[in-house]
């Protein structure tokens, strides 16, 4: 089976460096929030062209920390999309706030700024812009909206490590940004992990307090916080992979170009003007998507759906009373993610392409 994503292949590609990093941690005797975490935070902040990175336990926790650091809480509304991983909405609810879903742009699947403008109310405090599939949102339009209405702009970069918007790294443009290091991500750990990135020193300081019980010094809580720490092993592994991230993203773009050139019977990804896509996922769209997915499975191709049920249609979130989101619902019925990871071989990609080209709706 040709998998849609294959984290083990990345370990195999950098096996010696990763094994050396793991051994360094084991020999060092420091396992939580130690020198590897500190070094990774410095290196990742610099990579993102930001001043501060605060690591944490997962991408969901990065969103939770970011929103809490901004002071988002009960009674507040946060505008985001329903076409995303449920973590985006879950983090908003963890803060006691309510997610308000705006529809997406048909071509790029990212949040539509005009829809955001229609969703703003006196209770709105922030916009969470999800750079879905590795494609940056229209950060010019969203930044202008946030400024006009006095809102905070949060970048959800869980799928967009290394992407750029008009030459700037995503994560460096909004008030605060959130990254996931889940193993399948462009920058993936061998376990869970996340980070908050910002150039605002006060927000970074508050996020650091929140991630470890509000401790400014050990065992003394200055504010109410919780436990969301990155361990030294994951930080050491991420430091290795960070050194290869741009090269790996370049390989993703090469694979995407091959797909683009070969696939004409389905709708292929559209890149927004001014965006540098990093193809966390390569997503095609077509009616009768499920039938194609089944045919690909028969051919040994593991294509997946990201995401089959929009958040506003999931049982846990029906009580939010979201308005209809026709473009979001259409995407959920039509999108299909083809195998995409830097180590995907030309031979396997050709098998994927041939299997898709066999399809006739």
3-state helix, strand, coil in the chain (%, to 5): 45, 20, 40
| Domain locations in the chain as residue ranges | 8-238, 245-357
Q: Are 355 and 301 in contact (CB under 8 A)?
A: yes
CA 157/CA 63 separation, integer angstroms: 10
* Cα(188)–Cα(6) distance, integer angstroms: 11
Say whether pLDDT at 322 is over 80: no
- Residue 288 pLDDT more than 60? yes
Report pLDDT digits (tens) over 23-75. Answer: 999 999 899 999 999 999 999 999 999 999 999 999 999 999 999 999 999 99
- Look at residue 217 in the predicted model and tell me its pLDDT: 87
Of the pLDDT bands very low, low, confident and very high (cuts 50, 70, 90), residue 361 is low
Q: How far apart are CA 288 and CA 335, in angstroms?
A: 10
**pLDDT reported for residue 265:** 86
Four-way CATH pick for 8-238: 3.40.640.10, 3.30.70.2860, 1.10.3720.10, 2.40.30.10: 3.40.640.10
Give every CB contact of residue 155 below 8 A, 6+ residues apart in sequence: 129, 131, 137, 139, 170, 171, 173, 174, 176, 177, 178
What is the rounded distance in angstroms from the CA atom of residue 156 to the CA atom of residue 206? 19
Q: What is the DSSP string of 338-354?
A: EP--TT--HHHHHHHHH
Burial of 329 (0-12, 13-18, 19+ CB in 10 A): middle
- In CATH terms, is domain 245-357 a member of 3.40.50.150? no
Dist CA 65 CA 53 (whole Å): 12
Separation in Å, CA 225 to CA 55, 104, 178, 201, 243:
15, 34, 18, 18, 32
DSSP 154: E
Residue 321 reports pLDDT greater than 90 = no
Long-range contacts of 89-93 (CB under 8 A, 24+ apart): 89/311, 89/317, 90/60, 91/60, 91/61, 91/63, 91/64, 91/67, 92/63, 92/67, 92/128
Q: What is the DSSP letter of 313?
A: G
Least confident of 73-87, 182-196, 278-292, 315-329: 315-329
pTM above 0.85, yes or no: yes
pLDDT value of position 132:
98
**343-351 contact pairs (CB < 8 A, 24+):** 343/6, 343/9, 343/10, 343/12, 343/13, 344/2, 344/6, 344/255, 346/258, 348/2, 349/255, 349/258, 349/259, 351/2, 351/299, 351/300, 351/301
If one compares 359 and 293, the residue with the highest pLDDT of the two is: 293
Mean pLDDT of 244-257: 98
Q: Which residue in this structure is represented by tokens 């609810």?
A: 93
The pLDDT-based confidence of 359 (bands split at 50, 70, 90) is confident
**In the chain, alpha helices (H):** 7-13, 15-28, 35-47, 59-69, 87-94, 113-119, 139-149, 201-211, 232-262, 289-298, 326-334, 346-357
Residue with tokens 């909405």: 89
Q: What is the pLDDT of residue 92?
A: 98
pLDDT tens digits along 137-179:
999 999 999 999 999 999 999 999 999 999 999 999 999 999 9
Residue 338 is predicted with a pLDDT of 98
For residue 104, list its beta bridge partners. 111
**Cis omega (within 30 of 0) for bond into 307:** yes
């Amino acid at each position: 089976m040709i998998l849609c994503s294959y984290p083990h292949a990345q370990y195999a590609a950098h096996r010696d460096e990763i094994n050396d990093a793991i051994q360094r941690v084991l020999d060092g005797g420091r396992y939580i929030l130690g020198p590897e975490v500190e070094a990774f935070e410095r290196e990742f902040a610099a990579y993102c062209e930001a001043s501060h990175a605060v690591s944490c336990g997962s991408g969901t926790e990065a969103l939770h920390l970011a929103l809490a650091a901004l002071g988002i809480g009960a009674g507040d509304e946060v505008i985001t999309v329903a076409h995303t991983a449920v973590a985006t909405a879950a983090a908003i609810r963890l803060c006691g706030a309510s997610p308000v879903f705006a529809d997406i742009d048909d071509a790029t699947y990212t949040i539509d700024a005009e829809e955001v403008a229609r969703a703003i109310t006196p209770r709105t405090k922030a916009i969470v812009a999800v750079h879905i599939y590795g494609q940056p949102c229209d950060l010019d339009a969203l930044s202008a909206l946030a400024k006009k209405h006095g809102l905070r702009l949060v970048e959800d970069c869980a799928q967009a490590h290394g992407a750029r918007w008009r030459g700037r790294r995503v994560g460096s443009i909004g008030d605060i940004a959130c990254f996931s290091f889940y193993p399948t991500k462009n920058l993936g750990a061998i376990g869970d992990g996340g980070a908050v990135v910002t150039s605002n020193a006060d927000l970074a300081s508050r996020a650091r307090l929140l991630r470890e019980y509000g401790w400014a010094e050990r065992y003394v809580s200055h504010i109410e916080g919780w436990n969301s720490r990155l361990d030294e092993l994951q930080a050491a592994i991420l430091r290795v992979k960070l050194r290869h991230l741009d090269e790996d993203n370049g390989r993703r773009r090469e694979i995407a170009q091959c797909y683009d050139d070969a696939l004409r019977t389905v709708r292929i990804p559209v890149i927004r003007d001014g965006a540098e896509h990093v193809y966390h996922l390569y997503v095609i769209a077509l009616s009768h998507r499920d039938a194609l997915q089944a045919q690909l499975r028969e051919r040994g191709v593991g294509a997946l759906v990201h995401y089959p049920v929009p958040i506003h249609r999931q049982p846990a979130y029906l009580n939010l009373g979201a308005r209809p989101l026709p473009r979001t619902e259409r995407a959920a019925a039509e999108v299909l993610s083809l195998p995409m990871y830097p180590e995907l071989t030309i031979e396997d990609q050709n098998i994927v392409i041939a299997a898709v080209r066999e399809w006739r709706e």
